[in-house]
Amino acid sequence: MTLRTTYSMTAYAQAATQTELGELSCELRTVNHRFLEVAPRMPDELRPFEGDLREAIGAKLSRGRVDCFIRLDTQEMASLALNEDLLNELNLLMMKTQAAMPTVQPLRAIDALRWPGVLQSKSADPAELKKNLLSVVNDALDALLTARSREGEKMAELIHQRLEGIKEIIANVEQALPEIAQIHKQRLQDKLAEYSEQLDPHRVEQEMIILLNKADVAEELDRLNVHLGEVASVLSKSAPAGRKLDFLMQELNREANTLGSKSNDARVTKASVDMKVLIEQMREQVQNLE
């Protein structure tokens, strides 16, 4: 069976890249949630790009809670820049001072570096920093989608197995329906025969028809088959399936309950229970689908 790409909402991925300030990394963890909820944690120097970060995530994910950890690991010396203009001015002043006062000790390099303003924190170009951030986030998102797809395909396969199980149960009930209906009809006839002299035959016939109609489960079986077909159809489409599948699980469970309540045969009662077990198993898988 060929299935479309079905995404789980539970996955983990990470990515990293080198920037002029150091290593920039993105770690993504996602779990199931009714809507898309993004919880970013990022350094202050990247906070201006939080909106762009949320937009990038929203472009590729539609549901789930996303914990996004952005880290910028800077190396202390690599993040420092030399103010060469100030250093040249300082050197020129030192030369003039020594010319006027030859006995003055020359300025050591370490003293020059300690001079206020000679060493400055290196600042990256905002546009370049934003580009690097979105690049590493998209790399992590692509890895996340691969993981979500891999997990989602396993869940979809499990759902299809349950669908086939329910179809088999329905087919068995449909095959047994004529016999079940005949047994039920005979029971009613035997019971009514005890009171045949006291009852109007025409009224007896009407009541029997009503009782037989109430016990007829063909309509429930038809609706179950329709819902099963819709579940398979939703899984085959290229769109988030979780919410619609959750609704269909409720409908399947409703019909299975009705089937059990109308049951007048142990086989139908057992079929209803077996179906509800499979529906519950599908529902657990559906809760984690995007």
CA distance 279 to 268: 16
More confident call, 213 vs 22: 22
CATH of region 11-76+125-149: 3.30.230
Confidence of residue 159 (pLDDT cuts 50, 70, 90): very high
Instruction: Select from 253, 232, 250, 254 the least CA-distant residue to 241.
Output: 232
- Does position 208 have pLDDT exceeding 50, yes or no? yes
82 versus 151: the higher-pLDDT residue is 151
Among 68-77, 238-247, 265-274, whose mean pLDDT is lowest? 68-77
Q: Would you state the pLDDT for residue 1?
A: 39
The closest of 88, 41, 37, 94 to 69, measured between CA atoms, is 41
pTM of the model: 0.69
**Is the distance from CB of 32 to CB of 287 less than 8 angstroms?**
yes
Confidence of residue 207 (pLDDT cuts 50, 70, 90): low
pLDDT band, residue 9 (cuts 50/70/90): very high
Q: 180 pLDDT exceeds 90?
A: no
Closest by alpha carbon to 240, among 69, 1, 15, 33? 33
Q: For residue 239, what pLDDT is reported?
A: 77
85 falls in which pLDDT band (50, 70, 90)? confident
Q: Bridge-partner residues for 31, per DSSP?
A: 65
Of residues 88 and 173, more confidently modeled: 173
| Residue 241 per-residue DSSP state | -
Q: Using the predicted structure, report yes or no on whether residue 2 has a pLDDT greater than 50.
A: no
What values do phi and psi take at 96, rounded to 5? -65, -40
Average the pLDDT over 150-164 and give the result. Answer: 93
Every domain of the chain and the residues it spans: 11-76+125-149, 80-121, 151-286
Helix (H) or strand (E) segment spanning residue 69: strand 64-73
Q: What is the mean pLDDT of the chain?
A: 84
Contact 275, 137 (CB under 8 A): no
CA dihedral angle for residue 56, residue 61, residue 64, residue 66, rounded to 10 degrees? -30
Which DSSP state fits 45? Answer: G
Regarding predicted confidence, which is higher, 273 or 200? 273
For range 244-261, the mean pLDDT: 92
Confidence of residue 74 (pLDDT cuts 50, 70, 90): confident
For 211-225, what is the mean pLDDT? 75
Backbone angles phi, psi at 2, to 5 degrees: -95, 125
